[in-house]
Amino acid sequence: MKKKLILASLLFAVFASSCSDSSSDEFNNGNAGAAQKYLKTLTVTPTDGSDSPSNFVVNYDSSGRVSSITDGIQSNFFVYQNNNLANITGEGEPFRISELYQAPYQAYEIGEVLNYDSKGNPTDLRLFQENEYDGEIEEFTAKVTYDTAPNTFFYTLKAAGIIDVLDNVELNLNMQSLPPEIVKAKLLLPVNNPIKVVIKNASGAVVSTTQTDYVYTSDKYPTSATITETSEEGVSIVAVAYTYKQ
């Protein structure tokens, strides 16, 4: 399952700038005129048959808001007051949808974002991991590159009320007083879709390389993707299929 999550990472991975711009401003500035599409289903399937497909379903209410997200085993339910997100209930972590985009770093503690591109996408990150044999903390770096397509999940997150929550997060003020799930969601929200992540150890040796190839519609939303991770453990490939709310 860890391997599947690492591969699924590139669906919408990585960090947004910690400047004071809102998440909406960052997205709009980097994706002028982007179409508004809302995810309905997402299916992640290992091509080697090593695991069964993971199916995520997003449900909406009559007002177009996200009412629940489920993977067939666990579900989260979205509660609104005065048309604002008030709570997320159910099994698993709040902001479960972020499990997908934080997946490339599930095995790491996030240290800091070192550099950003002109749109606000982070390109260089410092990561840490505890060695499972001796308990020592090891340092890694991640180099991330992107295409020009808008974050596939942005408007789905907006329909869930999460973008409005993140727009109220000022990362430079009282960050320690904020719930960690909200801070993490803000930090991990991308502007565009990542296409490559290269993770290196402290010696500069490549630990893993993950490449994503999307098949896009004319409005730059993917209908499918192939995600390939190459590491010392070998090569793992998953196929991803997307559908959207009509």
Q: Which CATH number is 108's domain given?
A: 2.40.160
What does the pLDDT read at residue 173? Answer: 47
What does the pLDDT read at residue 112? Answer: 76
22 lies in some domain: no
Query: Could you tell me which residues come within 8 angstroms of residue 50 by beta carbon, excluding any fewer than 6 positions away?
Result: none
Return the H-helix or E-strand segment holding 123.
strand 122-130
pLDDT digit string (tens) for 88-136? 888 765 444 444 454 455 556 767 778 888 887 888 888 888 887 888 8
12 lies in some domain: no
**Per-residue confidence at 206, pLDDT binned at 50, 70, 90?**
very high
Q: Tell me the whole-structure pTM to 2 decimals.
A: 0.81
14 lies in some domain: no
33 lies in some domain: no
The residue range of the domain holding 174 is: 38-245
219 lies in some domain: yes
What gap in Å lies between CA 9 and CA 94, rounded to an integer? 18
What gap in Å lies between CA 27 and CA 16, rounded to an integer? 10
The number of domains in the chain is: 1
- Residues forming a β-bridge with 78: 88
Neighbours of 95 (CB within 10 A): 22
80 lies in some domain: yes
